[in-house]
Amino acid sequence: MRYRVLGGTGIEVSVHCLGTMMFGSVGNSDHEDSIRIIHAALGQGINFVDTADMYSGGESEEIVGKALRGRRDEVVLATKVHFQMGEGRNRSGNSRRWILRAVEESLKRLGTDWIDLYQVHRPDHTTEIEETLSVLTDLVSQGKIRAFGCSTFPAEEIVEAQHVAERRALGRFRTEQPPYSILARGIETSVLPVCQRYGMGVLVWSPLASGFLSGKVRKDRPVDLSTGRAALNPGRFDPSLPVNITKLEIVEQLVELADGLGCTLPELAVAFTVAHPAVTSAIIGPRTMEQLDGLLRGATLALDDATLDRIDEIVPPGTNVYQPDGAWRSPVLTDPARRRRPVPDRAAA
């Protein structure tokens, strides 16, 4: 396994990062089996583990914490905050009030005194970015986190956060965690260049397009919508939807390309993401040991220019074949009132 420096932090992380969203009730509910998978990943040289407080309602963090007992110093541990945790108000978002409570709960579940990378899981337009950066800066000073970053932020909000940090003499986002795959290349247009400009590390999620590039979802074959990632979002795999028909046609072209290289489609998909100069690490999220082994077999795969050129022909750079983030959309798009003047003001004359 190769290692790259995470942004300007000086922290060296493996080019494959172990994602743990599938450990717990939404995926692999067997804690001991999940722990074995984590240990197997560490044994293959992965030293970067990413989780989040909301994964299975905190269960994923608990599993990771049990797996890292006695091995905490070996691992660069990342988790996230933002989404609703439990019932009641003020148990979500990016406010000082919630982050201070959430980090303590994550530390307890993880069984550790510190988090190497604490990430804001999504933007929060109800909270000033200065407030969020301020509390994260305080947590670094207190030694509870080593660095902090953002996840699935649009380019303009990354830039704003960098400018606010500079103006207010606050710590800044050191990393961004965006969705990135052959089927979702939209971040190549602005997010990745912005991250390069500010020297941010990038750890990309869903390199297999939420399982669509796993090799198991193929044209003219039945799809089991009751298990795995398909069960979490059946619409993303429904073969009758036009967007999925397009994805299935692209998958067939990619399978042919992978066969010509003598590799599997998942190996091709992950290797594509880590070939980009802005990407530090790709998050692989296995649910089973078999899935982990299959992904790690492709760790040595280096795509040549001809292969990358062919991928560009199949899915042009900067193109999203589908909307990769179903968990969050900007309120300027979802709230009609923010896109419409009052009726008396809409006419030009």
| Structure tokens given for 215 | 């090799």
CA 148 distance to own-chain centroid: 14
Please confirm, yes or no, whether 55 is among the known catalytic residues. yes
Alpha-carbon gap, residue 137 to 145, rounded angstroms:
9
d(CA 274, CA 181): 10
Contact 201, 274 (CB under 8 A): no
Cα 299 to Cα 72: distance, rounded to the nearest angstrom:
24
CA dihedral of residues 292, 69, 1, 23 (deg, nearest 10): 20
Separation in Å, CA 61 to CA 26, 142, 180, 318: 13, 21, 24, 33
CB atoms within 10 A of CB 236: 22
| Closest-CA residue to 14 (of 22, 6, 27, 2) | 2
Sign of CA dihedral 210, 283, 55, 28: positive
- Separation between Cα atoms, residue 227 and residue 349, nearest integer Å: 57
Active-site residue (options: 3, 55, 118, 180) = 55
**Residue 311 to residue 334: CA distance in whole angstroms:** 32
Q: Which residues are catalytic?
A: 55
